[in-house]
Amino acid sequence: MEAVTNTIQTFDIASLRSEFPVLNVQVNNKPLVYLDNAATAQKPKAVIESLEEYYRNYNANIHRGIHSLAEKATAAYEATRTQVQHFLNAGSREEIIFTRGTTESVNLVAAAWGKQFLNEGDEVIISTMEHHSNIVPWQIICEEKKAILKVIPISDEGELDMDAYHQLLSPKTKMVAVTHISNSLGTINPVKEITAAAHKAGAVVLIDGAQSTPHMTINVQDLDCDFFAFSAHKVYGPTGAGVLYGKKALLEAMPPYQGGGEMIGGVTFEKTTYNELPYKFEAGTPNIADVIAFGATLSFLKSVDLKLIREHEKALLQYATEQIQSVGDIRLIGTAKQKAGVVSFLIEGAHPQDVGVLLDQQGIAVRTGHHCTQPLMDRFGIPGTVRASFAMYNTFEEVDRLVAGLQKAKKMLI
């Protein structure tokens, strides 16, 4: 592994790609070009091996056992919590709650924080570009509490209207929940400015970091956000594991999200007391294997030169944007000045699903549709887009194959 690590740190793309086995597969007798990373990123060998090692050698339930396997599993699971704390630069490990993913993290906050702090007439602010997972939970709790949901508009370029945001803020604003990077547009939102303004108005802030964690270094203390949610599988880890960061004082003031084992201090038929943080929000047997494997993911990420990778991804995005436009009859959706990871577009006169099918026949994996952002698509008056999304292992040659595929699809469809 040491030799591999050294070559990765000089950003040898071939060595980096060799760490991801699925990149060697054939799709429709063509080498795979995987450009659906915003949906889920591929997994390095270290993650796959970690999963196998757990199930082969020390599969056991955690926190409850005194036997050796349980103790080993517990230590590995809790080690990941500490790694996540450092990954986010959280103030303490008690502020790291494990969930199934960003969706559950947002639902946890909407349900538990909303139950405790949201009242009739209060206001929650989200944005036009939110994923459904950062819309629906707020709709549910606002309806229950008779609160009001307000929406930040966006420009034709796909940037938040910050003047409108500042006008929406009022003493009635209790929560601002926004995405850090749009999964459909790639827009990087000014979340530090958003957070500071919300705090000045007396509101708390949740940042959906599902798309930012793969492309940016996150420092929750610098952002000063109250909650930050992300999914392991977007950042080269396994599916079914996610994180909610929350400021300790807020988490302590919130009621439990679910009831069951582990989240209790003591149970009688008359009264139950709750466990301390972070376990108060982790009811039942957790996703042990995938959390442990996420620790392997974070170790892998420490073995690579993230600065070089960020530069590579930025150059790749610029190149892809220019080359896709060169196909002609292309409408880009999302042209913000600050972007990461995503080129979303339409071939004029062609349905995005048809384009996606033709690309798949050439071994090129992209995402088509509304990307769980239907209100955003309504804002642009379109049914959906073709979305190419990039990761550290993608290459300029793969972009060239995408462009060739689009040229072929264009000839067939219009």
Catalytic annotation, pick one of 372, 382, 404, 413: 372
Tell me, yes or no, if 225 is annotated catalytic. no
> Cα 190 from chain centroid?
17
Helices 306-325 and 396-413 meet at what angle, rounded to 10?
20
Question: Would you say 203 and 147 are in contact if contact means Cβ atoms under 8 Å apart?
Answer: no
Give start and end residues of each alpha helix (H) in 170-260: 191-200, 220-223, 248-253
Return the amino acid letter for 16: L
Give the H or E element holding residue 229. strand 227-231
Q: Where are the beta strands (DSSP E) in 79-136?
A: 96-99, 123-127
Report the sign of the C-alpha dihedral through residues 328, 333, 335, 340, in that order.
negative
Which DSSP letter does residue 279 get?
G
Query: Which residues are CB-neighbours of 195 under 8 A, at least 6 positions away?
Result: 176, 205, 207, 223, 224, 225
User: Per residue, what are the HEC states of 364-395?
Assistant: EECEEECCCCHHHHHHHCCCCEEEEECCCCCC
Are residues 387 and 366 in contact, defined by beta-carbon separation less than 8 angstroms? yes
Residues designated as active site: 372
